[in-house]
Structure 1
Amino acid sequence: MTAIKPVLLDCTLRDGGNQNDWQFSQADVRAIVSTLDAARVDVIEVGYRGGSGSRKSGTAGPSAHCTPEYLAGLPPVRHAELAVMVVPTACPIEAMADLPDSPVGMIRIAAYPWDVAAVPAYVEAVRALGLRVTVNLMAVSYAELDELVTVAKTVRAELPDVCYVADSFGALHPDAVRDRVELLTAELDCPIGVHMHNNLGLAAANALAAVDAGAGWLDVSLCGMARGAGNLATEQAAAFLTAWPRYATDIDLRGVCEAAEHVAEHVLPRPMVTRRAEIAAGINDHHYYYQHRIEAACARTGLDPWEAGRRLGGARPRRVLDDVVERVCLELQNTNEGQHQ
């Protein structure tokens, strides 16, 4: 049997910025890009163009915006393709116009399933710029399979080079990942990728289930650096692809580990952990940035944060808003009072 050889896309400088407010120094950026390129990682995502759609910050560092100056200062690469992410709700189409003059070869268009109507126009615009393009469907745990078919039809209208599904809240298990990958593989005539978060400790298992179901691209980040419990770690993915004969890779594991050591020692503000808050966000299927709001509100009201989180995830909120937490807590309080009358 021919070994399966997935493409690895490292997104440390983009998704990892959720941990350090995108405050990567020039030395960090050069070390990460140069070391990953030398290790033959396939694609290196160097940040957002126009900012994150889910975390507004007035102090964010350069990789949150990928200005022309930041992109011009990137070290040269010999193997890897460089990519940036664009969120349509945060970055207008015209803000991509200068990217063909940069070292970037790929633009990743990220949208929630309920915002996907805007995606085809962005894909068309990127193609007109002469760059490769992916579509990244965020919060895919909030899309049932029949809804995902409808989303796929919209994506099919302007087919990207790769279509990703992102388990943004770390809520999926391998069976759920497999179902979504198999559906998109059947619906779309392009490679499928996955972006797995580790809230339930399943990032690696989910990635392998995705690959076995037909996915050809995996997002990873050094030391797992990302929001909450983080992503599948680049060094772990390179390790299991190297060790397991079922899979194959040209990536130099020692070089990837060197990059991970730099991040662990010089970049990460603290080691990535999977504790109560990260697990609660995953098991209750809601954005990690809700978790401290839930815990603070429940501390004030004496409510159970696990139950509040379950109700909030069930409501599938489309944005991280304080009033959503307050509404859920009020509903839970009223329910508790009704049960004790």
Structure 2
Amino acid sequence: MLKPTLLDCTLRDGGNQNDWRFTAADVQTIVSTLDSAEVDVIEVGYRGGSGSRHSPTAGASAHCSPEYLAALPVTKHAELAVMVVPSVCPVLAMEDLPDSPVSMVRLAAYPWNMGQIPAYMNAVRSMGLRVSVNLMAVSYVDVPRLREIARELASTPPDVMYVADSFGALNPDSLRERVDVLLHELDIPVGVHTHNNLGLAAANALAALDTGATWLDASLCAMARGAGNLATEQAAAILSSWPRYATDVLPEQVCEASEYVAERVLPRPMAVRRVEIAAGLNDHHFYYQDRVDRISAAHGLDPWRVGRALGAIRPRKVTDEVVERVCQNMSEESPA
């Protein structure tokens, strides 16, 4: 019987919906209620800010200052974690963490930034903290490259290795394939972070668990960027109702937390509409879709076709210049 580790990331990933402007009461309620529900790990925010969404007005969980961490409620069951993007947060900015309630640091990196992870991971571990590595945009990583990344980490592996379907582009088969590579190459727990652009967050999570993953990310009310994550309350219900899984998580208590978020925190219901679906199908962050629509219209091109062409080249960022170049190439290739 598999007993997955359930990690709630509402205060971190959910901040993409409300600019991380959780009130002190929000933080206290979310953390204490999830702890009472015996959720295994609670990610309380970013240390040093998000690597993909910069906001001058972001609230406290976007940075997890020493003061913010010191004010967190004491947990009896849950381990507390922060996410760090090494490309935006130097190691020296975490020297206070060993004296905080945080015991785990989640290092998030895109495939092209993985080279900096081993040294950074060793520095964090020397502080006495547990470390996970979250490989973002894993839909951009084919199996041979993923195998290379795993082997580069094999000599000093993290405590947990995560794959994050950042664009919500994967399906159960493609996620299963990636999890299988990590399990074959690394003798450590593997985790998954799924997005719901194609309505597959739960299906992908279950496929990963079936393959052998044992860590599962989720957020209350699915609160996260774009189409959102697997909902923590649904994950708790699945793990509790399906006899193949064992869990100590109490779904009734998790639902108390999700109701609080729905009524007091979430600025709007999570939606899966054209923008989110297009981003999932075309394999890029949803917040680039407005740019794709605008520039495609200026060239008289179908934005769905332009989006597919963008996904095929897997750009690190979908800038105006990248979209312009794709549109120009498509215009030149079209018959007069």
Q: Which runs of 5+ in 2 are unaligned?
A: none
> C-alpha displacement at 1:153, in angstroms?
1.4
Q: How does 1:230-269 map to 2 (within 5 A)?
A: 230-269=228-267
Deviation by residue 1:39-73 (Cα, 9 ceiling, x = unmatched): 00000000000110111111111111111111111
Q: Which residue of 2 is the match for residue 226 of structure 1? A: 224
SS in 1 for 2:108: strand
- Over residues 234-293 of structure 1, what are the superposed CA-to-partner deviations in whole Å (9 max), with x where a residue is unaligned? 000011111111112111101100100111111111100111111100011112221121
Q: Residue 314 of structure 1 is aligned with which of 290, 309, 312?
A: 312
- The answer to whether the 8 A contact 1:289-1:320 is kept is no
Structure 2 length as normaliser, TM-score? 0.98
Q: Given that residues 116 and 154 in structure 1 are in contact (C-alpha distance below 8 angstroms), is that contact kept between their aligned partners in structure 2?
A: no
Which residue does the alignment assign to 2:83? 85
Q: Which runs of 4+ in 1 moved over 6 A?
A: none
User: Structure 2: how far apart are the matches of 1:258 and 1:197?
Assistant: 23
Query: Following the alignment from structure 2 to structure 1, what is the Cα–Cα distance between the partners of residues 53 and 320?
Result: 14
1:102-121 matches, within 5 Å, as 102-121=100-119
Structure 1 spans left out of the alignment, 5+ residues: none
Aligned residue for 2:45?
47
- Quote the offset at 1:5 in angstroms: 1.2
Determine the C-alpha separation between the residues in 2 that align with 1:94 and 1:157.
24
Q: Tell me if 1:172 matches 2:170.
A: yes
Partner amino acid, structure 2, of 1:61: G
Task: Check the 8 A contact 1:138/1:168 in 2, yes or no.
Answer: yes
Look up the match of 2:329. Answer: 331
Number of equivalenced pairs: 336
Equivalent in 140, 155, 164 of residue 142 of structure 1? 140
User: 2:333 & 2:92 partners in 1: Cα distance?
Assistant: 49
Distance in 1, matches of 2:69 and 2:287, equals 29
Deviations 1:213-234 (A, max 9, x none): 0100000000101111000000
Per-residue deviation, 1:320: 4.0
Residue 297 (1) aligns with residue 286 (2) = no
User: Is the deviation greater in 247-256 or in 327-336?
Assistant: 327-336
CA offsets 1:78-106 (integer angstroms, 9 cap, x no match): 10000000101110111111100111010
- Partner-residue secondary structure (3-state), 1:83: strand
RMSD: 1.0
Q: What residue is the counterpart of 1:32 in the other structure?
A: 30
User: SS of the residue aligned with 2:301?
Assistant: coil
Q: How far apart are the structure 2 equivalents of 1:332 and 1:21?
A: 36
Say if 1:120 and 1:157, in contact at 8 Å, map to a contact too: no
**Residue in 2 aligned with 1:209?**
207
Percent of pairs with identical residues: 68
In 2, Cα distance between equivalents of 1:25 and 1:155: 38
Q: Deviations over 1:175-217 (max 9, x none)?
A: 1111111110010011000000010101101001001101000
What CA distance in whole angstroms lies between the structure 2 residues aligned with 1:268 and 1:301? 37
CA–CA separation in structure 1 for the residues paired with 2:331 and 2:31 = 50
